């Protein structure tokens, strides 16, 4: 089957698509792509923009079963992209383990169980490549390795809650034939990210740090040697992948959503590109007294590329970082 044949013709006709966590980093990127594609009608995925409903925790607190049922009863979704989660960087993962475990278990249990009760036709639930085993026999990491060993101890609470989400979706597929699938994005970055220095992920936190260093005329200090390698994906590239998965037929139970293996980049290089955007490279330095964490965790993007349309192109790191820095500098109401 070709990539084009694999997609539905009028994907949003007679559909109600809800996006939980619709105002976070990934949810906002899906909103952007839905608006862009409505204007261009490019991938033909959104001819009916009204089919989409983006939700915040202010609309429904999904840790509550009662509110989750209210959501499904009121909106009767046919399709769900489930992004809502308690998410954070290293500090939050290590210092708020109980919250990361309990809130994510509760949100996921409520959403998946209720989606089954309301006979949702397709649900795409979000995992993460950071929940894969800490030690793997070979790189790249593939979808099949998800449960093959413990996650890194720093984020085990978050990781096991997310792994249960995969088991939960699989159980409904196997016992009831529900079309509930999972996707595992690699490190995401882009506009609307959380730029908080303690709670945020590495790339937005570095942008914020560089901004503050320049403002106070101090060094831009990167913790560790800068040598660890990471794969990043620009949030709008990820959004296109998620919509493609939502409307593709016969998708596998878990798909890694990543940039290619060869796009892996060192944290030092990411910091350099950020410093360039601020014209502050001369004041950048590494502080090797801090530990580096895992050296690499290369993942494979082969499976998702089999279903992406041939017209799909990745955003380069240079462009993605530039757009993210511009958004950070030009947006008053940001998460810092
Ligand atoms: N960021 C990454 O690098 C990354 C990488 C891999 C996978 N992921 C996954 O991608 C998904 C989206 O992540 P993100 O980066 O967009 O996170 P985010 O910006 O923190 O957004 C998370 C969203 O979840 C919502 N949420 C949290 N608690 C909720 C609750 N009790 N009830 C209802 N909604 C709730 C939040 O709503 P409000 O803001 O309205 O409170 C927010 O919109 C998550 O499942 C995450 O695990 C992210």
| Domain 16-189+232-262+297-314, CATH class in plain words | alpha beta
The answer to whether the beta carbons of residues 223 and 285 sit under 8 Å apart is no
Q: Region 169-184: what's the mean pLDDT?
A: 98
In the block, which residue shows the tokens 């005329």? 217
In the block, which residue shows the tokens 């249990």? 109
Evaluate if residue 50 carries a pLDDT over 80. Answer: no
Model confidence, pTM: 0.94
Q: Residue 131 CA to chain centroid, in angstroms? A: 12
Q: What is the mean pLDDT of the chain?
A: 92
SS3 assignment, position 154: helix
Counting every residue, how long is the chain? 336
Separation CA 20–CA 82 (nearest Å): 5
| Cβ neighbours of residue 82 closer than 8 Å, sequence gap 6 or more | 20, 21, 108, 111, 112, 115, 123, 124, 125, 126
From the CA of 218, how far away is ligand 1's center (Å)? 33
Separation CA 297–CA 151 (nearest Å): 12
Q: Region 162-179: what's the mean pLDDT?
A: 98
Q: Which residue has the higher pLDDT, 163 or 48?
A: 163
Q: Region 188-205: what's the mean pLDDT?
A: 93
From the CA of 54, how far away is ligand 1's center (Å)? 12
The answer to whether the beta carbons of residues 261 and 140 sit under 8 Å apart is yes
Residues of the chain with pLDDT > 70: what percent? 93
- Active site members: 158
Q: Which of 16-25, 195-204, 309-318 shows the lowest mean pLDDT across its residues?
A: 195-204
Separation CA 334–CA 332 (nearest Å): 6
Model confidence pLDDT, tens digit, residues 283-294: 999 999 988 877
Separation CA 21–CA 70 (nearest Å): 16
pLDDT given at position 74: 97
Total Cβ atoms within 10 A of residue 98: 8
Model confidence pLDDT, tens digit, residues 107-124: 999 999 999 999 999 999
Residues with CB under 6 A from ligand 1: 20-21, 23-27, 56-58, 61-63, 83-87, 107, 126, 128, 185, 187-188, 194, 201
pLDDT given at position 186: 97
């Amino acid at each position: 089957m070709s990539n084009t044949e694999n997609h539905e013709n009028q994907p949003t006709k007679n559909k109600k698509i809800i996006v939980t966590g619709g105002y976070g980093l990934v949810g906002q990127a899906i909103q952007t792509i839905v608006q862009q594609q409505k204007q261009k009608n490019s991938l033909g995925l959104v001819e009916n923009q009204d089919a989409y409903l983006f939700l915040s925790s202010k609309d429904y607190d999904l840790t509550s079963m009662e509110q989750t049922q209210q959501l499904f009863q009121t909106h009767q979704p046919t399709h769900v992209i489930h992004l809502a989660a308690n998410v954070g960087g290293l500090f939050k993962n290590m210092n708020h383990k109980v919250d990361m475990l309990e809130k994510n278990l509760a949100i996921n249990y409520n959403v998946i169980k209720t989606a089954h009760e309301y006979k949702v036709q397709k649900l795409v639930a979000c995992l993460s490549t950071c929940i894969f085993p800490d030690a793997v026999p070979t790189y790249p990491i593939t979808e099949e390795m998800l449960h093959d060993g413990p996650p890194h101890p720093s984020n085990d609470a978050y990781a096991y809650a997310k792994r249960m989400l995969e088991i939960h979706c699989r159980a409904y597929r196997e016992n009831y034939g529900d079309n509930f699938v999972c996707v595992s994005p690699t490190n995401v970055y882009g506009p609307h990210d959380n730029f908080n220095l303690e709670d945020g992920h590495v790339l937005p936190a570095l942008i914020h740090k560089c901004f503050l260093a320049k403002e106070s005329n101090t060094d831009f200090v990167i913790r560790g040697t800068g040598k660890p390698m990471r794969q990043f994906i620009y949030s709008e590239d990820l959004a296109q992948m998620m919509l493609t998965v939502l409307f593709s037929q016969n998708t596998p139970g878990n798909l890694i959503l990543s940039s290619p293996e060869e796009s892996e980049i060192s944290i030092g290089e990411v910091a350099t590109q950020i410093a360039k955007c601020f014209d502050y490279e001369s004041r950048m330095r590494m502080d090797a007294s801090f530990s580096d964490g895992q050296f690499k965790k290369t993942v494979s993007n082969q499976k998702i590329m089999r279903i992406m349309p041939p017209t799909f192109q990745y955003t380069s790191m240079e462009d993605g970082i530039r757009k993210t820095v511009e958004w950070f500098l030009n947006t008053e109401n940001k998460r810092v």
